Structure 1
């Protein structure tokens, strides 16, 4: 029997192996879309604002010859536990070979690390929170992932179950196709909401990008505050993310809803750059940047990654209006398909307008937990 050694990834070489493992692990999978290596190095850098309140330990599993077999993090998000009143630790970035012994060794190390730091529950995967990639894919393995959504091995859910983990929540990814025009009854429905509620939906102003980002930041923390798993985002985090995403923003599909001039809702939709990232295979140079530079017009898919309405206007139809306008403006811009993800399985207020627009569940991601 091969010996499995799990150790903290504490050196620069260890972190390099941690970052690069998915490239080898998914090398033969035609649907996998790798992150850019330089982007992952930046993400795991101590300068990432998330580390101001996240205590993380990285683990690598190796065989006797030193070959990497898997990886995982064990991290504590202080802001989550303060907000939720919990002692929950998290695991994330889980990848491993199809071997229960490897999975068990990794998760045992993560559980022990969190238990020693006073946690009573482990939940995941979160990379590092609900504000980033999360969940194991349990449905939709035949479809490529959209921008900033995970793609994971089909055997992971079974490994988790065998290790004593239970489902805590499913996250739904709704896909839709543009059919040339929006049904008339939905056009009329949208018009009625605008007229009755006096709602104005506007795109962000790239000349006032910083101000509009701050508006969306405030709306996000307010709109999502009661959502399951929510972790409040700091202004520094939000600004850093916005700065990174600005080069790929299509302002016509990043929307702010206003009532009497007051912002009350928002949605953020981006072109699906995974179409180009797939061709780059994790590398910006020597030729990867050319795909980014000249390939944008070839992107015909979008992903809506954020949407919300402040609590006092939640039942006023603004969420449906944001969904409608996202469809309408995307169609006008020449996009042909999209994904709205993720949506909590029990979020009926968001699921209903999506399904009325003809969107269907394309993928399901699952979150697991276990008592420590």
Structure 2
């Protein structure tokens, strides 16, 4: 097996193009944008290079045909019981010996860096993109979500990887009946004239970003994986989302103009970018505007749902859900709703998803492989 470090223009191109060739007969595969992948490996774009390192490789057989690829990395802020590195952007033909060679290569690379375990497939970055191996629900992936054929699960598990945690996505049909208890909540809260629900408005983007920050930091401060956001961070995030924001599908609730709840959703970008074959230059950006205007997007994606502590379990969720739902049913063409993944180590967030009357639509897995097989394997602790 020939191993090629991906540094040249030709090898970068092969790294990006190989999955398309591998999945050419899979109608559900949507090629990610090349720039989204390349940004991961660009030290000027990816802050994780400040406290880590990353390399990527191609693997070729005796006929000089690409049969696999992988990225291997360490992140000094990724603190675990034992020093743990990461692998990601793994793709491989359906051949266990080839996969074993690739995994062994990654293991040896990480051992030289002092690692004692490897997690994968994960991202050299935040968990919101390119994280996990798809094990159930092989439909078109959401934007930024990993996709792979079913046989990858066997490649990982036959090598010895074990599930560190499962990642659950929840969804529902937009026009399915809303539960009676939500309607009852809405009817009861509607009598309180101090409570108002409002959709996000782009012309007041910074104001809604401030309100989002206030609710988010109160709602998630006590949860595992919770991170405090600054208003500056949120404004930057909202501005980056501005081209794709749909003003009908993100909702806020106020008590006397004080923000107490929010429900952030955006259209699934993959429903538009799947026509671009990974490219997003000037021509594709122009096409994006045209497609966005004339092609109906049938899927919306749930980003965040939050209620400040003093208003939790008081019916605000039902009020906001029905206010938003009855509005975007009338004003948009969305038919499907799916939430970004929630780790099975976080039952509180799973309960929130279930309370939205959703069902599991797909499952991904974050795997871990301990280099010392005599050590006890532990799953991610529940928060």
Query: TM-score per shorter chain, which class?
Result: 0.7 to 0.9
Shift of 1:74: 1.8
What pairs with 1:175-194 in structure 2 (closer than 5 Å)?
Answer: 175-179=171-175, 182-192=178-188
Could you tell me which residue of structure 1 aligns to residue 134 of structure 2? 137
Change (3 A) 1:223 1:10: farther
Contact 2:41–2:54 (Cα < 8 Å) also in 1: no
Question: Retained in 2: the 8 A contact 1:80–1:230?
Answer: no
Aligned length: 366
* Counterpart in the other structure of 2:166: 170
Deviations 1:3-31 (A, max 9, x none): x2234323333223222222222222111
Maintained 8 Å contact 1:174/1:361: yes
Residue deviations 1:305-360, cap 9 Å, x none?
33345667665665666555554443233222111121233544444454455422
Q: Quote the residue 1:104 is aligned against.
A: 100
* Structure 1 residue 174: Cα displacement: 1.7
Task: Work out whether residues 138 and 154 of structure 1, in 8 Å CA contact, stay in contact via their aligned partners in 2.
Answer: yes
Contact 1:180 1:331 in 2 (8 A): no
Q: 1:325 to 1:164 in 2, by over 3 A?
A: farther
Cα gap change, 1:356 to 1:267, in 2 (>3 Å): closer
With over 3 angstroms needed to count, the CA separation of the structure-2 counterparts of 1:248 and 1:54, relative to structure 1, is: farther
Decide whether the 8 Å contact of 1:80 with 1:232 is kept in 2: no
Alpha-carbon distance in 2 for matches of 1:123, 1:314: 35
User: Deviation of residue 210 (structure 1)?
Assistant: 4.3
Which residue does the alignment assign to 1:339? 338
Deviations 1:109-166 (A, max 9, x none): 222222322333321222233122311111112x222233222111111111111110
Q: How much has 1:208 moved relative to structure 2?
A: 3.7
Query: Would you say 1:370 and 2:366 are equivalent positions?
Result: no
> Residue 273 of structure 2 corresponds to which residue in structure 1?
277
Cα distance change, pair 164–200 in 1 and its aligned pair in 2 (3 A): farther
Deviation at 1:180, TM superposition (A): 6.5
Gaps of 5+ in 1: none
Query: 1:317 and 1:299, CA in 2 relative to 1: closer, same or farther beyond 3 A?
Result: same
* Residues in 1 aligned to 2:52 and 2:191: alpha-carbon distance in whole angstroms: 45
Structure-2-length-normalised TM-score: 0.80
Q: Does 1:59 pair with 2:57?
A: yes
CA distance in structure 2 between the aligned counterparts of 1:185 and 1:330, rounded to whole angstroms: 20
Match of 2:7 among 5, 10, 14: 10
Q: Do 2:40 and 2:46's aligned partners in 1 also have CA atoms closer than 8 Å?
A: no
| Residue 291 (structure 2) pairs with residue 295 (structure 1) | yes
Offset of 1:361 from its aligned partner?
1.5
Q: Check 1:8–1:311 CA distance in 2 against 1; reply closer, same or farther (3 A cut).
A: farther
The 10-residue stretch of structure 1 (362-371 or 60-69) with the greater mean CA deviation from structure 2 = 60-69
Structure 1 pair 352–224 and aligned structure 2 pair: CA distance change class (3 A): closer
| Equivalent pair of 2:181/2:318 in contact (CA under 8 Å) | no
Separation in 2, partners of 1:217, 1:116: 42
TM-score (norm 1): 0.82
| Alpha-carbon distance in structure 2 between the residues aligned to 1:248 and 1:311 | 30
How much does 1:363 deviate? Answer: 1.0
Distance 1:118 1:194 in 2: 59
> Which protein is bigger by CA-based radius of gyration?
2
The alignment yields a C-alpha RMSD, in angstroms, of 3.5
Deviation sequence 1:202-232 (CA, Å, 0-9, x none)? 4333234345446546765775566666788
